[in-house]
């Protein structure tokens, strides 16, 4: 992740003399690609977090009801979700 952030923080050189301000330099294209990768990684992590929150919710509700079978099933589901990452 730190490698990705360091790539995003790089400054771009000034465009060559006489060049328009909206020229698509290779560095700009690379930064956009890195940002798109970061957004996709964020989406995956958010989905995984949502899955874990769902499982934890499934775990807490039966724990309040003292339903041991549901608690065991929810713990198994939590372990499965955590192992997928």
Angle between helix 68-84 and helix 26-65 axes, rounded to 10 deg: 170
pTM for the model: 0.49
Q: What are the angstrom distances between the C-alpha of 57 and each of 45, 63, 73, 78, 80?
A: 18, 10, 12, 10, 15
Residues 10-53 pLDDT 10s: 655 555 555 555 667 888 999 999 999 999 999 999 999 998 88
Size of the chain, expressed as the number of residues it contains: 85
């Amino acid at each position: 992740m730190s490698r990705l952030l360091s790539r995003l923080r790089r400054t771009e050189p000034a465009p060559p003399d006489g060049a328009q301000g909206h020229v698509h330099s290779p560095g700009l294209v690379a930064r956009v690609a890195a940002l798109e990768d970061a957004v996709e990684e964020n989406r995956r992590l958010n989905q995984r977090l949502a899955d874990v929150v769902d499982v934890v919710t499934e775990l807490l509700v039966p724990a309040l009801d003292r339903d041991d079978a549901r608690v065991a099933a929810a713990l198994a589901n939590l372990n499965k979700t955590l192992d997928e990452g």
